[in-house]
Structure 1
């Protein structure tokens, strides 16, 4: 039955199969964008936590020096 429709229509292109590569492309771009945003967020979070940790250590050392 499917071969009959293919032979009757010379410009037969299965639409669902044609849309699959574009969907894969879009999803790949979305995943890579989300991944890069996540990496940047983790990097910034690490920087902030390191800054706070060093500041707390500095404050503790300053307090010990005053005593």
Structure 2
């Protein structure tokens, strides 16, 4: 997998992918290692937002009620 973040990177990624496909893996060991550890691309590493925060604030508003 070759990550592309912008359209300007697309031609170089295609060129690299074709070269890698034509050249093939350097060795069977390399191919096995690549298959065992594929690249990880994090889509979003921020903590998830609490979608019920407004409901919780309303429930815990404490207007002098027990």
Question: One fold, TM greater than 0.5?
Answer: no
Larger relative contact order (Cα-Cα within 8 Å, sequence gap ≥ 6): 2
Compute the TM-score of the two structures, normalised by the length of structure 1.
Answer: 0.30
Task: Specify which structure has the higher proportion of helix.
Answer: 1
Compute the TM-score of the two structures, normalised by the length of structure 2.
Answer: 0.30
